[in-house]
Amino acid sequence: MQPTVHSVKAEYRTDSPYTGASRPRLSWKTETAAPGWTQAGAEIEWRRGEATAVARVDGPESVLTAWPFESLLPRERGRLRVRAEGADGSASDWSEPLEIRAGFLAEGEWRARFLTVPEPADIGQPVLLRREFAVRRGLRAATLYSTARGLFQVEIGGVAVDDERFKPGWTAYQSRLVHETNDVTALLTAGPNAIGAALAGGWYTESFGFHGETRPFYGKYPSFAAQLVLEYDDGAEEVVATGDGGWRATADGPITASGIYAGEEYDARRAMPGWSSPGFDDRAWLDARTDTAEAIVPVPRTAPPVRATGELPVAEVITTPSGRTVLDFGQNLVGHLRIRVSGGEGDTVVLRHAEVLEHGELGVRPLRHAKATDRYTLAGDGVETWEPAFTFHGFRYAEIQGWPGEFDPADVTAVVVHSDMDRTGWFDSSHPQLNRLHENVVWGMRGNFLSIPTDCPQRDERLGWTGDIQVFSPTASYLYDAAGFLASWLEDLALEQKAIDGVPFIVPNVLYWAETPAAAWADAAAVVPSVLYERYADSGVLERQYPSMKAWVDQVAALAGERRLWEGGFQFGDWLDPNAPPDEPGQAKTDHDIVASAYLHRSSRLVADAAGVLGLDEDAQRYEAYAEEVRAAWLREYVTPAGRIVSDAQTAYALAIMFGLARDPDLLARLGKRLAVLVERADHRIGTGFVGTPLIQDALVRTGHAGTARALLLQTGVPSWLYPVTMGATTIWERWDSMLEDGTINPGQMTSFNHYAFGAIADWMHRAVAGLAPLEPGYRRFAVAPLPLAGLDWAATEHETPYGRATVRWEADGEALVVRATVPPNTSAVVSLPGRGAEEVGSGEYEWTVPDPRPATA
């Protein structure tokens, strides 16, 4: 059976041929019906023009393999193919060719200067810039490198150069700025041409803070920089760059105001048709001004860009008790509205956004100081179509004010916007509420993975809180190919860490007070790189982040001192424990010191593991020994010989069990029994916050209490995972009771209806309920070990691993359980089913029938 090689890719991006690496790592997948197929070796062909080079890779590796050729040069392009040989003697044909282009500039080649508004204007004032230039005959290629301190889109001759949004995204602007790379050859013609850039402040000019006490962090004005490299058939090269003269600018464009939190205002009467085309009359414009703020040289993008990824129609038109018109889109989402409207000149349509209704009216209190309002003023010349360019909202409902004439819901569409990652994970079951819970997790990730991993997408926050992604990164890495997205964010984490000699609460760090070390939040420095290695076999990210991982543990070790316990000081603790008062979300049942020292142990062990992978044996031994000292101190200080923990709470026991703090089998059994008792006494209602929620189900199952875990999962009373589902939630809530049972929004000042942290339960649903879990990096070897739960007739999951599609499905059939699995080529699976010993199988399609254990154990 001849194998087929497919899905060849270079480094992280699959949406573009451009790579930001001069030696991009290569990955490919193999498809074959041959059972137990493993790769014995592969050939890689790299063709540049007429030159062809072939390299051989021996062994089974096909994920993030080293670039075997000479380093790429700027603007170099070629086509790469792979063919694989199996250990069974089979051989594939060449794969379809993958186009690869070098998307970076040579060192010292960046010469563009940042241009901004022509004269002092309002903070964050949107601006248009343009320049005309000539292209001579014989143009072979035109490559545009562009970036902004702010948000931008480039047009050439009235055509946008791509479909990306919120370029260049949010990074630690003072330390790292990314540039876009576009092939714009097809947009140019011999003779006069024009390039235009629409620019808004975005995150760069936004004010950040809480309780109305906000302040700008980066700069007052957005600025734009670009260089267009023109290559001709005769070998000549020309560069059109910002700062080289001829650039004109105006702040009198149709976008009159724009903000991430406030929304966008557009006056169609100020539209300037042809402003990015040659021959446009720009005499009223002024010379663009050079931004004097210190500039850094941008680096090429490695993360997937933000795009519009879907659309939703109006599901229902509601007239509220006060007589207002509100549109329900049936799904809490992140993005904006696109409207089609006709009316008189000067008519203004106002669009207000919110996630929920409260007693029939738009529930805007959770937005705090975010206005989340867009305004469109009509030109009055027929049917007009508009959508905002530089803002986004978290909403399910939108209130429409000032609509001219009769309103038709078909004229309004919700546009879904987020970082455009490939979907890789799915879950389904016979339990509709569990399926809706999982769908809520997916929508929560979509909305909060917008350039950076945010905590929420709607209120005056939308920040990269480290604690949220620390607990959610395993789930994220299953649902989507988040490798490039999170690897890019980790670069900023390391830069922000170096700037303050510690890991801040949020990355990028725009809060002056967010620099105090905090367990479970700053531990993202050690946890997230480890997750990327586990799920994607990305040892490169471990190597790059290792100094950051190590520095974090060293900092906390100094705080812990000789006692090896991190005690005192500020901590978030088990944030949003359901018993915490609405306005004191950190007042959890589990003591902060217990959480902090447990995480010190965990991160120390992760650093030891990373050191082992990287061949740093001395570090591995040292951090392993230190982790053991912390473990012993934790047990001595917080655990009684009878198996009680000082904080007799669900999270404390889950930490002890799942972080490897308790290893003695008798102690583990006692801790697990006590955890189950606490859950049962709470009527199987959740009692954990951010820290304990991702751990509690595994802790119960590991210590023999799967029935208790099942009851906790399927509980619908408040607090529980399914309570929001019963209340009509379509995303994960920040609080277990963000909406009270009477339809009133939680009285706390901090309430979000799209907050993915508690959605970390989905990782357990994938690994345990359906039964597909990684055993070796990248799922090179994985577990097939479903946990059939009473109340479910079947459950299934699929995951597009770095090696190919893996699936597990179990289904009750009378008194039997039928389990089916797909093991992709070049991988193996350890199968553990009820009533059978574990067995390891190679690639292929499998089916097993075993006795259904649930009547005896449910």
Q: How far is CA 206 from CA 123, 151, 218, 364, 424, in A?
A: 9, 11, 8, 21, 34
Amino acid (one-letter) located at 799: H
Minimal CA–CA distance to 63: which of 813, 784, 781, 755?
A: 781
Q: State how far the Cα of 610 lies from the Cα of 527, in Å rounded to an integer.
A: 11
- The alpha carbon of 634 is separated from its chain's Cα centroid by a whole number of angstroms, namely 33
Asked whether the beta carbons of 241 and 111 are under 8 A apart, the reply is yes
| Dihedrals phi, psi of 487, to nearest 5 degrees | -65, -40
SS3 call for 186: helix
C-alpha 772: how far from chain center: 22
Distance CA 465, CA 506 (A): 4
Q: Are 630 and 622 in contact (CB under 8 A)?
A: no
Active site residues per annotation: 461, 734
Amino acid at 749: Q
Rounded to whole angstroms, the Cα distance separating 853 from 815 reads 9
The string of DSSP codes covering 476-504 is HHHHB--HHHHHHHHHHHHHHHHHHTS--
The CA-based angle 170-172-177, given to 5 degrees, is 70
Q: What is the CA radius of gyration of the chain?
A: 28
Interhelix angle 617-638/539-560, rounded to 10 degrees, is 50
User: Could you tell me which of 650, 651, 550 has the C-alpha nearest to residue 595?
Assistant: 651
- In whole angstroms, give the CA distance from residue 823 to residue 348: 57
Reduced to 3 states, what is the DSSP secondary structure of residue 592?
helix
Taking the C-alpha atoms of residue 723 and residue 719, their distance in angstroms, rounded to an integer, is: 7
Report helix angle 432-448 to 466-479, nearest 10. 120
Closest to 434 (Cα-Cα) out of 754, 712, 808: 712
Measured CA to CA, the distance from residue 811 to residue 850 in angstroms comes to 11
Measured CA to CA, the distance from residue 179 to residue 154 in angstroms comes to 13
d(CA 220, CA 218): 7
Cα–Cα distance for residue pair 474/18, rounded to 1 Å: 28
How far apart are the C-alpha atoms of 360 and 477, rounded to whole Å? 38
What's at 678, amino acid-wise? L
Q: What share of the chain is helix, strand, coil (3-state, %, to 5)?
A: 25, 30, 45
HEC per residue, 260-320: CCCEEEEEHHHCCCCCCCCCCCCCCCEECEECCCCCCCCEECCCCCEEEEEEEECCEEEEC
User: CA 319 → CA 114, 314, 343, 356, 453, distances in Å?
Assistant: 48, 14, 22, 15, 35
The distance from CA 562 to its chain's CA centroid, rounded to whole angstroms, is 38
Helix (H, G, I), strand (E, B) or coil at 157: coil
The total of other beta-carbon atoms located within 10 Å of residue 558's CB is 8
474: left (phi over 0), alpha (psi -120 to 50) or beta: alpha
